[in-house]
A and B are shown apart, each in its own frame.
Chain A
Amino acid sequence: MEGLIITAFKLDDDAVDKIEKKFSKHINAEVKLKQEVDRALLGGFIVHIRNHMYDYSIKRRLEDMNKYLLSD
């Protein structure tokens, strides 16, 4: 199963390996992640895999906070 991992900074292979293992376990299939860098994420990472998006980026968490503060 091919996937994509987007991070703010380039990850070393060790870290990618760890994440791949976690996801392989989660979706019950061998996962291979391609790396991509997007500074706009600020931190954390986003994984796209099999029509699903797992967003663990700082950008989104800030957006969440923004939404929360603006809501009642």
Chain B
Amino acid sequence: MDMYIKSISDLKKQVDTYSMKQVGMRREGVVTYCGDGIVHITGLTECRYGELLEFSDGIYGIAFNMEEDSVGAVLLSGQEDVYEGMQVLGSERVVEVPVGKHLLGRVVNPLGEPLDGKGRIHAKQKRAIECEAPRIMDRQKVDTPLKTGLLAIDSMIPIGRGQRELIIGDRQTGKTAIAIDTIINQKNQNVVCVYVAIGQKASTIAQIIDTLEKNDAMDYSIVVASPASDLAPMQYIAPYAGCAMAEDFMHNGQDVLIIYDDLSKHAVAYRTMSLLLKRPPGREAYPGDVFYLHSRLLERAAHMSTANGGGSITALPIAETMSGDIAAYIPTNLISITDGQIFLETELFNSGIRPAVNVGLSVSRVGGAAQTKAMKKVSGQLRLDLAQYREMAVFAQFSSELDKQTQRLLAQGERLTQILKQKQFSPAPENEQVVLLAVIQDKMLLDIPLENIDDFKVKFVEHIGYVCPDVLMKIESKGLFDDDMQETIRKAAQKFIDDYLEGLEK
């Protein structure tokens, strides 16, 4: 009721102070050509690059090509309602999206309009979708971990807040699964998540939203969706729109995780647009500025300095490869832009190693600095162990007789691989990861049969939570795992393993 009265008195004021001067003038043009979502417009003087153009009936376009006496524009929707001779008005502004906390829990299109049927978004502020990346002096180094909850990633390919880590792999290798697991693991971590779906099937997006809802992850998430049925320009602006929403949180000192799923389709959408606008094609028919297309987007991920609020945007772009070819145009571009990549392989995925991370080809260039001391202490040896194991495993296929040491190495590698397997939607907290890794690092699991490792893992973690909760607490609160704590765990583990083996014999 209060709001109602306020709006009436407000309205009276508006009427009283209404002056003709407010009306002002608007620049107008006329459509001379339209087709394939591309419009040519004459008139429309002083049009700005990237300006939002208004056609009648809520149809919008973006000015992209400035020529001497015409403007080339792309339509964001409603291409069948645009006709030659139609009036076009310049809006004096670039494309903007609503930003702020009202977007949390919502599914929106790249223009910030709701798609979830939950009513209007009461956002007070708007932000231009294209925006300059934070300057060098406004940033600081990445120093806080962003925990994915996936043991294989948190231990060997750690991601820090403000980092850009590419998730790359063939279709059906679990790329999106890693991203979704990471979002789910941000619960109670005070991280806002933005999931940008570009050119995906609407059914897939619906499924992802459903998953997020079931895991209570929508409360702190925004989904920006541009399904495959959208026009290419709409898909093209989707990641920038998502990034603008993320930036607002970052500039308010919040930590944000943004996922672009996926940038290969984004590049394809941009290629479609560019070719229709008659821009010259380059390698794989992509336009010349396809590198800049992604670099200017990913540069907007940052860790702001304390003076600037200390917020961050962590970006997890996803790229799809064709039969493992990471030397294609878009994947190489993205690899060189990002601070590392998580490479997923079909072969690993099909042999049951999930997440199907290829540890050899995956790196994180800055995440190591963000790892907690506890994690660093127990994960240092992992990569080497796995590499040795893989080398030896290939070699061991040819000879049946192996010396004791090699057998141990193989057994250790097999167990490590098994421990690194993790089911979807079951992120593990850091302290449990540390304890598990500590035990495997001490080569204590060699006596446990391989087929019992999964069972052991569950029971062991539960047991440790029961007998040494103080150690777990300390890892969580301080990020420390000193020698005393390690000794406590070692003793508890030895006792548990002995009991466990005894139980197996019976």
Contacts and interface: CB of A to CB of B under 8 A. Distances in A.
Interface stretch (B21-29, B189-197, B215-223, B323-331): B21-29
B20 interface: yes
Contacts of A68: 11, 14
A52 B23 contact: no
Interface string A45-71: 000100111111000110001001100
B253 interface: no
A56 B25 contact: no
Given A68-B14, A69-B11, A56 B29 contact: no
B100 to A, nearest CB: 11
Nearest to B20: A56
B256 interface: no
B381 interface: no
B7 A69 contact: yes
Nearest to B102: A72
Residues of B in contact with A, size category: 10 to 19
Contacts of B43: 51
A60 B124 CA distance: 24
Nearest to A68: B14
Contacts of B152: none
A56 B44 CA distance: 20
Contacts of A60: 23
A53 B89 contact: yes
B45 interface: yes
A52 B11 contact: no
A53 B44 CA distance: 10
B122 interface: yes
A51 B20 contact: no
Contact of B23 (A48, A55, A72): A55
A51 B44 contact: yes
A55 to B, nearest CB: 6
A56 B21 CA distance: 10
B45 A54 contact: no
A53 B25 contact: yes
Contacts of B7: 69
B23 A51 contact: no
Contact of A52 (B18, B28, B122, B124): B28
A72 B29 CA distance: 31
B29 A54 contact: no
Contacts of A55: 23, 26
B25 A51 contact: no
A12 B45 CA distance: 32
Nearest to B15: A65
Given A69-B7, A72-B122, A72-B124, A54 B14 contact: no
Closest 4 interchain pairs by CB? A51-B43, A53-B28, A52-B25, A54-B25
6 contacts: A51-B44, A53-B89, A55-B23, A61-B18, A61-B23, A69-B7
Interface of B: 7, 11, 14, 18, 20, 23-29, 43-45, 89, 122, 124
Given A51-B27, A68-B11, A72-B124, 15 more contacts: A48-B28, A51-B28, A51-B44, A51-B45, A52-B26, A52-B28, A53-B25, A53-B27, A53-B28, A53-B89, A54-B25, A56-B20, A65-B11, A69-B7, A69-B11
